[in-house]
Amino acid sequence: MWPCRAVFVDPSLMQYAVKLVSATRKPAQYGLADMARLLTYGASPRATIGMIEGSRALALLRGRRYVLPEDISDLVPDVLRHRVVLSYEALAEGLTPDVLISRVMKAVPVPDKPLAHSKQEAAEGRRD
């Protein structure tokens, strides 16, 4: 049996998690300038840790020793939902954290080919 911490997470997927969390704190940098008025507080950097550790566990439960983008995407709402604080304006408009999280997920692109560099390195016979 593999421990969760032994599950591989591609650096591009770690960066993806960082960007998702960062987009809740600085939405204008991700093309979501109108969303800034709807958030009082974005998720803290610890949300990134929760996302990565959770995706490792999910990958393991799904029978893999490596994380795929969908492992992270499936967890984003659950990890961020209670970590973002909506403004009074957002509450008055009847918005929920899930609506804003969905907008963040649409704005932050999923990495094109995670694990591709690892396969290329393996084909070339390189080891780190």
CATH, residue 117: 1.10.8.80
In terms of C-beta density within 10 A (0-12 exposed, 13-18 middle, 19 or more buried), how is residue 42 classed?
buried
Using only C-alpha atoms, the chain has a radius of gyration, in whole angstroms, of 16
> What's the rounded Cα separation, in Å, for the pair 45 and 52?
11
- CA 86-99-34 angle, to 5 degrees, is 65
Q: Going residue by residue through the chain, which has 128 residues, state the pLDDT in tens, using 9 for 90 and above.
A: 668 889 999 999 999 999 999 999 999 999 999 999 999 999 999 999 999 999 999 999 999 999 999 999 999 999 999 999 999 999 999 999 999 999 999 999 999 877 665 555 545 554 44
Residue 127 has what pLDDT?
45
Task: Dump the DSSP string for 31-54.
Answer: T-GGGGGGEEE---THHHHHHHHH
Domain count across the chain: 1
- CA 55-57-69 angle, to 5 degrees, is 25
Range of the domain at 71: 4-124
> What's the rounded Cα separation, in Å, for the pair 13 and 10?
5
- Angle of the 46-61 helix axis to the 11-25 helix axis, nearest 10: 140
